[in-house]
Amino acid sequence: MTSKKTAEKNKEKDDAEDFYVEEVIDRPFSRELAGRLMRYLRPYKGLVLLSVMLILTNTALSLIGPLLIKEAVDGPLALPTEETESRELTGIGQLITDLGEGAGLSPIAVGSSIDERTQWLWVLVGIYAFTLLIQILMRYGETMVLNRTGQNVMRDLRLQIFDHLQKQSASFYHKNPVGRLVTRVTSDVEALNELFTSGFVTLVGDILAITGIVIMLFWTNAELASMVLATAPLLLISTTIFRRFARKHYREVRRRLAHLNAFTQESISGMEVIQVCRREEEQAQQYSGINGKLQDAHLKSIFWYALFFPTVELLSVVALGIIVVQGGERIEMGTATFGEFFLFWTYLTRLFTPVRDLAEKYNLLQSAMASSERIFTVLDTDTTFAEVDSKSEPATNSEQDSLDEIRFENVSFSYDGETPVLEDVSFSVKRGETLAIVGATGAGKSTIINLLLRFHDPVGGRLLVNGEDIREHSLEEHRRRFGLVLQDVSVMTRSLGENIRFDRDISRQRISEALEQVNGTEIVERQKLGLDEPMMERGRTLSSGERQLISFARALAGDPEVLVLDEATSHVDTETEAKIQEAIDRMVEGRTSVIVAHRLSTVRKADRILVLHHGHLRESGTHDELVEKGGIYARLVKLQFQSR
Amino acid sequence: MFPFRAFRFLAPLIREQRPIFAIGVVLILLTSLSQVAVPRLVGLAIQKLESGIGVDLIGPIALAMVGAVLIRGLTSFWTRETVIASSRRIEKKLRDQLYEHISGLDGSFYSKTHTGDLMSRFTSDIEAVRMVFGPAVMYSVQTAFTLIFALSMMIQIDWQLTLYSLIPLGFLTVAIRVIGPKVHRESMRAQEMLSGISVHSQENFANAPVIKAFVVEDAEVERMQRLSHDYFRQNLRIARLRAISGSAMWLFGDLALVTLLLIGGMRILQGDLGLGDFATFNGCQLLLIWPMIALGWVMNLFHRGAASAERLQAILDAKPLVDDSRATGLTAVQKGSVEFQNVSFRYPEGEVPALENVSFDLPPGGTLGIVGVTASGKSSLLNLIPRLSPATSGLVLIDGKPIEEYPLKVLRDSISMVPQEPFLFSATIAENIAFGVGDASEEQVRAVARLVRIDQEIDKFPNGYEQRVGERGITLSGGQKQRIAIARAILQKPRILLLDDVLSAVDSETETSILEGLKDWTRDLTALIVTHRLSAVTHADEILVLDGGKVIERGTHSELLEKKGKYSELWRKQTIESELEDLE
Ligand SMILES: Nc1ncnc2c1ncn2[C@@H]1O[C@H](COP(=O)(O)OP(=O)(O)OP(=O)(O)O)[C@@H](O)[C@H]1O
Ligand SMILES: Nc1ncnc2c1ncn2[C@@H]1O[C@H](COP(=O)(O)OP(=O)(O)OP(=O)(O)O)[C@@H](O)[C@H]1O
Ligand SMILES: [Mg+2]
Ligand SMILES: [Mg+2]
């Protein structure tokens, strides 16, 4: 039995992981993704072109140095006794000779004096220094241009994701933990940043450098070059093997890390519960377990890195050994020079550095690809409603219309498509009316509010505003009519005043007024900085009632047409609540309100009271009518008002 | 140059890894030695070729090179396996330690810490510290050794030439020292900006319904635009510094080669230097360029790591206001009486006291009702009993002993508290109910679910008790969350039960039936009940009416009604007697 239970437990654990651990994408490089990423470069074509040119010239220039050393060793530095007189001058060599001779130097010959040779040396060093200087400037330019491009793309992408996420429907937010969405906007975008600023250079620059070097090697001494490059297939094989394993471990590490972070985040949010329940030790143990798995994954991946780098090193030295032996032989025979030997040596070092670099940057590339895939997945998920019916021009219409009636017509709803939450609910609210919704917990009251504000669309039936289906209205215009107070806390980390103003065009005067109306001036008085007092996350330093009052003031401050209150005063005492009620009554004659409350004293005066039971509308009428009727509502009244 | 002091608090963790680090250093030493051997061997080969003496030794020399690299491969393999692995072990232990530490911190810490900020310490700061003990240590030791070996070899060949080629390398280090700290400072600011972006998105996504309802998406996007733009500019500022230091490094690295070509070339021409030795020099410089560039990177790692270490230490240094320092050997709460003697309390950042001179004496098994206007200090009072916050003055006694004398574990084991806003984990319903006890059987879970009248609703969920509830219980209704939190508390079978306005989201029918059901269960329990619905506390042994942190009225329900004070006024408002008559 125990084994079965543990098996079940394990399965649960896996499920728990699945909730957080997102599909880990291990594609190292996908043309499709890269193509999509490149599209973000389009607005910055000029910058991109410039950077490619800079990289190109830079790479070319960086290849000149070794050539100059070769020329020096074969030219002025070659010993006077040497018989390499008849060497053919190629490319750069010819150029340098022309340059030197133009400056009035006589060509190097067996009998050249030390002074002549020194002058030649100066020419070479001068050219070297000159190319260096240009390179420095270009390198600076390259870094700046690349960063500017990268940062621009990042900013565009970040805003696009944020904008997109904000438009998503409520159900999207139920399915995706907040932490995961935050990752999309922050670390996933950062990972791409690395790709654009340093990864891009490494990729393009290194590939260019490798090609350039190979060409130069063949050009200088094809025979020797082909021998050295015999190590290339080995390099290719070891890189492929490395990549395979690095990918596998990368995947594992990411999985573990995501789980660990999710666990940490939840522990921090729920720390008080953990402490009151004395589960610190158990939680810490569980944490340590997940942490340990992450460590194991890391340790395993070290092996492959530890193996890869020495392998590359070994191959590079084998190549060098080949040059020493074969090159030596050829120098003896006179078919190669010391200069060529130097050239091969320096180029080889430069050839293997990018290979190593590429491997080092491989992780970077991999996480950038994974990040971009996750980003695109989110961007491709569109759960926004089809907003406006294109035929009509309702946005302007509804601006003028005042809201005369909201009607629920045979509305049915289910969150998961399985369990019905509302079934065949019909009612209407007219302008100036106060509608109250009561019912047992879980009856579907908040769900009605959700539909009213169009966080979800009904599964069956429809909602009519002024006789028209709300799906034909602009979502924004529709929502703007309402002032909503939700059941859950919604105080954010901005100042107290900003929490009420909430990004709208509302004067400080009105803010204070709204606070007065909800009987909340004392809250401001209790703060050191008054309205400017910064609030903590979720309003942690306020009492629950104070938080509700602030949300209430926020809804009132906008002078909405319809006030929607979902248990807006559940944590507030009756006296304060009565005062708020009076203030609202005074405020605007004929304001429409929809109120959800369990406290019957709150709903007593409503024009109509709906009684919801298991998703069905069971009773409807005024307080007196319903008490008369002797149904569910009458029973509730009796229970709540009777003293035990 | 290296800010070591910041890492001192990690000494115990490092000490554990000391033998492994020692092995690592020896391995790095061998690595560097075999690394420097290669240019020497190449130089030797050229010397032989040039002079034409011992040309047949070339083959063996090439073999020796490969041999040296084989050794080097093995040692560097083991270096990574030891040093990097150690750094991962330190990382894990540090993270465990941090987690354990924050589990012991109380409200005084959490009320001023943002979740996102704390999270970043668990992720990026720990990683930054790890980088110091892994790659940074590995590369800096390796650079040091390589430098020593290469230099001693170069000096042996020609000390003047060595000096000349050192000049550009010297500039390099100066450049790193000047620019490094700037990069560090600017990066820290960028880090803060990024964390601002993260906090902004976190709050936005968490409050999505409100933002939608008020149709302020555009304003929020604008805010994000501002944040992103500042971050963009900051990053360009850093890029400029990096561009300068990056190109400086290339410059000085290659400048060393130019110097060698010029000075070395002249010495060759004067006959003071052989081509073979020139080659050795060349090789050594090639070897040094990369570590020197890496040194800049390593310095960066050290600075970042140091800043992160300071951030971690700040957390580890945070002391809870509540601890076991005054605990005696008490092992259990026997009867469960609760007494307050002149208790006052003020939040550390609070302007006014939340409680003033509150006294009461609740016998074991008694029930205390606490009512009062919003922000009158009701929740603050309850929080004092499980010591979530410490009283500023006065005494809280359980069974006649100050609560500080009970070890925290004992105290909290015997107390269950349902907070005003229930917190659910994104686990299954069953796991949430059983959270407070290690091993609850299915029957027990069902039994408490029945007590809080949520069993039928749970049975209707597609997965029943195995239904997952989403982040913070987002897929449940307000009343469902509250009742699960109550079930969790009573499953712990406490001696003292604290209920903070816990049925506010529950209708009166369910409420009555829950209170009915709980009666048996809580008969012997001491209960403190905060509520705004007076009907829930009419049966209490004593009721306190709080206002502004002071007790303004006290007594039983009927006593208070007779007083015709605040309480009776409230009662009248809530019951509307006239209508009650109608019903009867
Ligand atoms: N996002 C969701 N996904 C799935 N089910 C949900 C979701 N939100 C609510 N439900 C379920 O829908 C039913 C009705 O929930 P609703 O929040 O409308 O109840 P309510 O009447 O407001 O209750 P209360 O008074 O407790 O707040 C409940 O059974 C609840 O579990
Ligand atoms: N963490 C905190 N830091 C600073 N001040 C706080 C903190 N928590 C609460 N306060 C303040 O202490 C006072 C009392 O708060 P408390 O939560 O005890 O009120 P309450 O009686 O429970 O109110 P409610 O009925 O709204 O739940 C309030 O003024 C509140 O703003
Ligand atoms: Mg609700
Ligand atoms: Mg409270």
Q: Residue B458: closest CA among chain A residues belongs to which residue?
A: A442
Q: Residue A281: closest CA among chain B residues belongs to which residue?
A: B100
% of chain B residues with pLDDT over 70: 98
The size of the A-B interface in CB pairs under 8 A is 500
B113 CA to centre of ligand 3 in angstroms:
30
At A577, list the tokens.
């609540």
Separation CA B341–CA B112 (nearest Å) = 29
CA B35-B38-B43 angle, to 5 degrees, is 145
Domain A29-220 has CATH 1.20.1560.10: yes
A441 CA to centre of ligand 1 in angstroms:
8
For A251, half-sphere exposure in the C-beta direction (CA atoms, 13 angstrom radius) is 12
Atom of ligand 2 nearest to the CA of A543: 17
Q: Which of A65, A310, A492 lies at the smallest CB-CB distance from B257?
A: A65
Q: What is the CA radius of gyration of chain A?
A: 37
Contact (Cβ atoms closer than 8 angstroms) between residue A523 and residue A549: yes
B416 CA to centre of ligand 1 in angstroms:
26
At B295, list the tokens.
């040194």
Tell whether the model's pLDDT for residue A27 goes beyond 60: no
pLDDT at A616: 94
Separation CA A142–CA B240 (nearest Å) = 11
DSSP string, A169-216: -HHHHHHS-HHHHHHHHTHHHHHHHHIIIIIHHHHHHHHHHHHHHHHH
Q: Which of A152, A273, A487 lies at the smallest CB-CB distance from B478?
A: A487
Give the number of other Cβ atoms within 10 Å of residue A439's Cβ: 26
Burial of A396 (C-beta count, 10 Å sphere; 0-12/13-18/19+): exposed
Of residues A89 and A317, which shows the higher confidence score?
Answer: A317
Residues of chain A contacting B580 with CB distance shorter than 8 Å? 641-642
Q: What is the pairing mode between strands A608-613 and A460-465?
A: unpaired
| Sign of the C-alpha dihedral computed for residues B513, A441, A279 and A542 taken in this order | negative
Span B150-179, mean pLDDT?
Answer: 82
Domain A403-643 has CATH 3.20.20.70: no
pLDDT at B162: 87
At B469, list the tokens.
């509830």
**Does the CB atom of residue B468 touch ligand 1 within 6 A?**
no
CA A305-A309-A311 angle, to 5 degrees, is 115
Q: List all residues whose CB is within 6 A of at least one atom of ligand 2.
A: A 526, 540-546, 571; B 107, 111, 347, 349-350, 354, 372, 374-380, 420
How do residues B23-61 score in pLDDT, each as one tens digit? 999 999 998 898 888 888 888 888 888 777 777 888 888
For chain A, the structural domain boundaries read 29-220, 403-643
Interface of A with B in 304-343 (CB under 8 A): 305-307, 309-311, 313-314, 317-318, 320-322, 324-325, 328-329, 331-332, 338, 341-342
Which residues belong to CATH 3.40.50.300 in chain B?
338-422+494-582
Q: Which of A593, A588, A549 is nearest to A570 (CA)?
A: A549
Residues of chain A contacting B76 with CB distance shorter than 8 Å? 306, 309-310, 313
Name the least confident of A72-86, A523-537, B237-251, B394-408: A72-86
Written out in words, the top-level CATH class of the domain with range B338-422+494-582 is alpha beta
Report residue A14's pLDDT band, with 50, 70 and 90 as the boundaries.
Answer: very low
A542 CA to centre of ligand 1 in angstroms:
26
Tell whether the model's pLDDT for residue A182 goes beyond 80: yes
How do residues B229-240 score in pLDDT, each as one tens digit? 999 999 999 889
Suggest the residue from A598, A610, A624 to mutate for an interface test with chain B (most B CBs closer than 10 A). A598
Most ligand 1 atoms within 8 A of CB, residue of A421, A448, A566, A602 to mutate = A421
How do residues B265-292 score in pLDDT, each as one tens digit? 888 888 888 888 888 888 888 788 777 7
Residues of chain A contacting B207 with CB distance shorter than 8 Å? 490, 492
DSSP string, A519-588: T-HHHHHHSTTGGGPBPPGGGTTS-HHHHHHHHHHHHHHT--SEEEEESTTTTS-HHHHHHHHHHHHHH-
* Cβ neighbours of residue A330 closer than 8 Å, sequence gap 6 or more: A221, A223, A224, A336
% of chain B residues with pLDDT over 90: 36
Of residues B560 and B440, which shows the higher confidence score?
Answer: B560
How do residues A90-104 score in pLDDT, each as one tens digit? 556 666 667 667 666
**Does the CB atom of residue A445 touch ligand 1 within 6 A?**
yes
Separation CA B468–CA B487 (nearest Å) = 17
Tell whether the model's pLDDT for residue B92 goes beyond 90: yes
Residues of chain B contacting A317 with CB distance shorter than 8 Å? 38, 65-66, 68-69
Bridge partners of B524?
none
Tell whether the model's pLDDT for residue B86 goes beyond 70: yes
At A40, list the tokens.
């973000």
pLDDT at B170: 76
Cβ <8 Å between A181 and B457: no
Tell whether the model's pLDDT for residue A150 goes beyond 50: yes
Separation CA A70–CA A73 (nearest Å) = 5
Tell whether the model's pLDDT for residue A3 goes beyond 50: no
Report residue B159's pLDDT band, with 50, 70 and 90 as the boundaries.
Answer: confident
Burial of B271 (C-beta count, 10 Å sphere; 0-12/13-18/19+): exposed
* Length of chain A as a residue count: 644
Residues of chain A contacting B217 with CB distance shorter than 8 Å? 166-167
pLDDT at A83: 47
Average pLDDT, chain A: 82
Separation CA A606–CA B472 (nearest Å) = 33
Tell whether the model's pLDDT for residue B98 goes beyond 90: yes
Report residue A80's pLDDT band, with 50, 70 and 90 as the boundaries.
Answer: low
Contact (Cβ atoms closer than 8 angstroms) between residue B407 and residue B327: yes
Report residue A107's pLDDT band, with 50, 70 and 90 as the boundaries.
Answer: low
How do residues B511-529 score in pLDDT, each as one tens digit? 888 888 888 887 889 999 9
Which residues belong to CATH 1.20.1560.10 in chain B?
10-157+298-321
Contact (Cβ atoms closer than 8 angstroms) between residue A170 and residue A54: no
Q: How far is A192 from chain B (nearest CA, A)?
A: 14
Give residue A534's identity as a one-letter amino acid code.
P
Tell whether the model's pLDDT for residue B580 goes beyond 70: no
% of chain A residues with pLDDT over 70: 84
Suggest the residue from A166, A332, A473, A610 to mutate for an interface test with chain B (most B CBs closer than 10 A). A166
Nearest bound ligand to the CA of residue A447: 1
Q: Residue A264: closest CA among chain B residues belongs to which residue?
A: B119
How do residues A566-576 score in pLDDT, each as one tens digit? 988 888 888 88
Span B405-431, mean pLDDT?
Answer: 92
Q: Which of A614, A600, A565 is nearest to B511 (CA)?
A: A600
For A199, half-sphere exposure in the C-beta direction (CA atoms, 13 angstrom radius) is 20
Cβ <8 Å between A177 and B426: yes
Give residue B242's identity as a one-letter amino acid code.
R
Written out in words, the top-level CATH class of the domain with range B10-157+298-321 is mainly alpha
Contact (Cβ atoms closer than 8 angstroms) between residue B197 and residue B231: yes
Suggest the residue from B374, B456, B486, B501 to mutate for an interface test with chain A (most A CBs closer than 10 A). B374
Span A6-30, mean pLDDT?
Answer: 48
Of residues B165 and B380, which shows the higher confidence score?
Answer: B380
How do residues B294-336 score in pLDDT, each as one tens digit? 777 787 788 778 888 988 999 999 998 888 888 888 888 888 9
| Interface residue A581 vs chain B (CB under 8 A) | no
pLDDT at A19: 52
* ipTM of the shown complex: 0.87
Span B409-428, mean pLDDT?
Answer: 91
Q: Which of B388, B415, B421 lies at the smallest CB-CB distance from A489?
A: B421
Atom of ligand 1 nearest to the CA of A450: 18
Average pLDDT, chain B: 87
Separation CA B417–CA B494 (nearest Å) = 9
How do residues A190-224 score in pLDDT, each as one tens digit? 888 777 777 666 677 778 888 888 888 888 888 88
Tell whether the model's pLDDT for residue A373 goes beyond 60: yes
| Interface residue A9 vs chain B (CB under 8 A) | no
pLDDT at A86: 45
Each as own residue / partner, the long-range contacts of residues B238-241 (CB below 8 Å, 24 or more positions apart, any chain) are: B238/B183, B238/B186, B238/B187, B238/B190, B239/A143, B239/A144, B239/A147, B239/A148, B239/A151, B239/A197, B240/A144, B241/B179, B241/B182, B241/B183, B241/B186
Q: What global pTM score does this model have?
A: 0.85
Atom of ligand 1 nearest to the CA of A445: 21
Bridge partners of B361?
B339
pLDDT at A368: 81
Tell whether the model's pLDDT for residue B158 goes beyond 60: yes
Span A25-36, mean pLDDT?
Answer: 69
Q: What beta strand segments (E) does B90-243 contain?
A: none
Q: Which of A217, A214, A210 is nearest to A341 (CA)?
A: A217
pLDDT at B3: 67
Atom of ligand 2 nearest to the CA of B355: 14
Give A401's DSSP letter. Answer: P
Of residues B137 and B249, which shows the higher confidence score?
Answer: B137
Q: Residue B207: closest CA among chain A residues belongs to which residue?
A: A490
pLDDT at B459: 92
Q: Which of B396, B511, B538 is nearest to B454 (CA)?
A: B511
Please tell me whether residue B398 adopts helix, strand or coil conformation.
strand
Separation CA A540–CA A543 (nearest Å) = 8
A446 CA to centre of ligand 1 in angstroms:
7
Contact (Cβ atoms closer than 8 angstroms) between residue B180 and residue B303: yes
Separation CA B555–CA B384 (nearest Å) = 22
Tell whether the model's pLDDT for residue A581 goes beyond 90: no
pLDDT at B2: 61
* Length of chain B as a residue count: 584
Name the least confident of A153-162, A318-327, A351-360, B431-440: A351-360
